A and B are shown apart, each in its own frame.
Chain A
Amino acid sequence: NAGVTQTPKFRILKIGQSMTLQCAQDMNHNYMYWYRQDPGMGLKLIYYSVGAGITDKGEVPNGYNVSRSTTEDFPLRLELAAPSQTSVYFCASGLAASGANVLTFGAGSRLTVL
């Protein structure tokens, strides 16, 4: 049982490049999330999904896209990378049936845009 797996752990991009951050969970959780965390700050929600085929925007969706074709996978696509997207990205999953939406986080992906 691996939990939530994110790849890559580190990546440097040039301005204007695109990339996909991968996220997979093996806990059969219906909810999945992408957060970003800037230095000294809390977590800002980018996108989330309540199940396969359903996605919705969070607080800071501009410059990102997501898809949820399976329960297990929730990739985050960055198009035309900008320095403002330099951050640590966390994927998380949760199971609403637990009574409160307790999230399990992946280890994070540190992205630098130069």
Chain B
Amino acid sequence: QKEVEQNSGPLSVPEGAIASLNCTYSDRGSQSFFWYRQYSGKSPELIMFIYSNGDKEDGRFTAQLNKASQYVSLLIRDSQPSDSATYLCASSNFGNEKLTFGTGTRLTIIP
């Protein structure tokens, strides 16, 4: 079974520090990887996606992909209380438009 694994947390990070969220996947055919943020009681919203090995930066967010280790991460720099949410990792295969989601990591930024 194709799986995306995340530590459910909660992960507590002081305001201003770097939050590091991790995700592993079991299907070597996975090509694209997504990070969604979900506030309590709300729907998921896309933060970033990545499909090439290495880093991809967007403002305070950096996604990292290591296909050899089957590992994806999301770094949030200068963490703010508004970053407190559940972060969902998802993967999809090339030509397969179904996304497989992990169970999410709950992040709390402590003022």
Contact = CB atoms under 8 A, between A and B. Distances in A.
A75 to B, nearest CB: 18
B98 A45 contact: yes
Interface string A34-60: 010000111111001010000000100
A41, A42, A104, most chain B CB atoms within 10 A: A42
B43 interface: yes
Where chain A touches its partner, the secondary structure class is: strand
A17 B45 CA distance: 32
For this complex, into which size category does the number of interface residues on chain B fall?
20 to 34
B17 interface: no
Nearest to A45: B98
B10 to A, nearest CB: 11
A100 to B, nearest CB: 4
B26 interface: no
Interface of A: 31, 33, 35, 40-45, 48, 50, 58, 90, 94, 96, 100-108
Interface of B: 4, 8, 32, 34, 42-46, 49, 51, 88, 90, 92, 97-104
